[in-house]
Amino acid sequence: MNVVESIERKRDGHALAAEEIRALIAGYTADAIPDYQMSALLMAILLRGLSADELAVWTDAMLHSGDVLDFSHIAAPKVDKHSTGGVGDKVSIPLVPMVAACGVAIPMISGRGLGHTGGTLDKLESIPGFRTALDPAEFTRLLERTGLVLAGQSETLVPADRRIYALRDVTGTVPSIPLIASSIMSKKLAEGLDALVLDVKVGSGAFMRDIVRARELARTMVGIGAAHGTAVTALITDMSQPLGRAVGNANEIAESLEVLRGGGPADLVEITHQLGVAMLLAGGVAPDPDAAQRMLHAAVASGNAFAKFEEVVIAQGGDPAVLHDPSLLPSAPEEAVVTAPRDGIVQRCDALLLGVAAVRLGAGRMTKEEAVDPGVGFIVCVKVGDVVSAGDPLIRIRWRHPGRLAEARSLVDHAIVLGDTAAFPPPLVHERVV
Ligand code: URA
């Protein structure tokens, strides 16, 4: 095949043939196509899009780049959740032990940080020893044993997504509906699920900035699920300001532990519960939303959700001591505090600026080879609508390198806008797409 011709054809707005798409995905997965050519193709797709037929083949080629798991021997319903990506979006970490404690099996394949958004794998790996690289045999054993497994794409599990995802992270090719939809759905369809719940983020800190595009992304993924016989429910949720207070890797684990102990910021708890209800209903283990809510509350109040997370951390090699004493999690040595320059009401707390600033601090990557720093990040002390006085802390920054702090500060200083009129945050859940 001639990769240059494929790039040129997509650049010029033409459709790629099915066999061509399969050869491109197989070639890149086998290292026969270099990063620079795949980057150019991805940029052409971002600019020109994929037709429904092209997207179906692209997703199928990614899905079959590795093993497709079959858990039909496990009696419990298999349900997973995936987010399209946000800032401070650590929902999966408290959510899945809560839902697993209610009797749903969750074979979760997640991703790393993508663009300015954080990734579940990077967060989990801030727990010392936690292993997310599992082969299908170990993945299956852990799911059978604990009912919950948290792993990454690998050489055997959606390897095409592993490579394309890492490339998109550092080539400005993330915010494309077909590339996001194929990335998410190839991973999720490889998990052998009965049902899937999607959290489609909308707002400045999301890849979909407005509701029209968020709806299109949600419908695209629901459609791919339907074509593969997997029931998909999508909630379109707000990402105009960070979710919860913590942004970073280790500090997001600490905040997730608060939720598992029955505390945590109200917005994070609310979204976690709404997605949990959707998962329990999708799995058929709760008859209605009220019953699902009661099950989730009981899983937290009884300590079963926390115990489930501890079981998974131990099973995947993590140090359980950090769960009982989060001060043992990695933490950068220095703190800087951004304070309110005047009295006022928070009008904006910009998720995009804070997400980009977190990457600059070292919580995400600017090249494929870069390692993330688990200990850097922010505690965002305010939400839209809060009343503050001059000198009140707005953002606490955990940092390690002065140059990186300076880069991050130039963004953080503009993230929070104060005014004199009452301000109201948008609803947390905008719409549901089924
Ligand atoms: N999550 C994914 O797995 N892939 C994307 O492209 C975006 C969010």
- Positions annotated as catalytic residues are 82, 161, 168, 183, 187
Ligand 1, pocket-test mutation among 110, 184, 199, 208, most atoms within 8 A of CB: 184
In degrees rounded to 5, what are phi and psi of residue 196? -135, 140
**If you measure from the C-alpha of residue 121 to the centroid of ligand 1, how many angstroms do you get, rounded to a whole number?**
12
Please state the atom number of ligand 1 nearest to the C-alpha of residue 207.
7
Q: How confident is the model at residue 1 (pLDDT cuts 50, 70, 90)?
A: confident
**If you measure from the C-alpha of residue 115 to the centroid of ligand 1, how many angstroms do you get, rounded to a whole number?**
10
Hey, whose CA ends up nearest to atom 8 of ligand 1?
84
Please state the atom number of ligand 1 nearest to the C-alpha of residue 180.
6
Ligand 1, pocket-test mutation among 180, 182, 208, 224, most atoms within 8 A of CB: 180
Mean pLDDT of 376-395: 98
- pLDDT tens, position by position, 174-201: 999 999 999 999 999 999 999 999 999 9
Ligand 1, pocket-test mutation among 108, 109, 110, 114, most atoms within 8 A of CB: 114
Sheet holding 416-419, edge to edge: 387-388, 344-349, 416-419
Task: Give the chain's domains with CATH numbers.
Answer: 3-49 (1.20.970.10), 79-326 (3.40.1030.10), 331-419 (3.90.1170.30)
With a Cβ cut-off of 6 Å, ligand 1 is lined by 84-85, 111, 114, 165, 179-180, 183-184, 187
**If you measure from the C-alpha of residue 359 to the centroid of ligand 1, how many angstroms do you get, rounded to a whole number?**
17
- pLDDT tens, position by position, 115-151: 999 999 999 999 999 999 999 999 999 999 999 999 9
**If you measure from the C-alpha of residue 245 to the centroid of ligand 1, how many angstroms do you get, rounded to a whole number?**
22
Hey, whose CA ends up nearest to atom 2 of ligand 1?
184
Please state the atom number of ligand 1 nearest to the C-alpha of residue 84.
8
User: Would you state the pLDDT for residue 178?
Assistant: 98
pTM of the model: 0.97
Please state the atom number of ligand 1 nearest to the C-alpha of residue 179.
6
Ligand 1, pocket-test mutation among 46, 82, 116, 199, most atoms within 8 A of CB: 82
Hey, whose CA ends up nearest to atom 3 of ligand 1?
184
- pLDDT tens, position by position, 212-255: 999 999 999 999 999 999 999 999 999 999 999 999 999 999 99
**If you measure from the C-alpha of residue 180 to the centroid of ligand 1, how many angstroms do you get, rounded to a whole number?**
5
**Rounded (10°) angle between helices 52-63 and 159-169:** 120
**If you measure from the C-alpha of residue 162 to the centroid of ligand 1, how many angstroms do you get, rounded to a whole number?**
11
- pLDDT tens, position by position, 157-179: 999 999 999 999 999 999 999 99
User: Would you state the pLDDT for residue 220?
Assistant: 98
Hey, whose CA ends up nearest to atom 1 of ligand 1?
84
User: Would you state the pLDDT for residue 127?
Assistant: 98
Hey, whose CA ends up nearest to atom 5 of ligand 1?
180
Hey, whose CA ends up nearest to atom 6 of ligand 1?
180
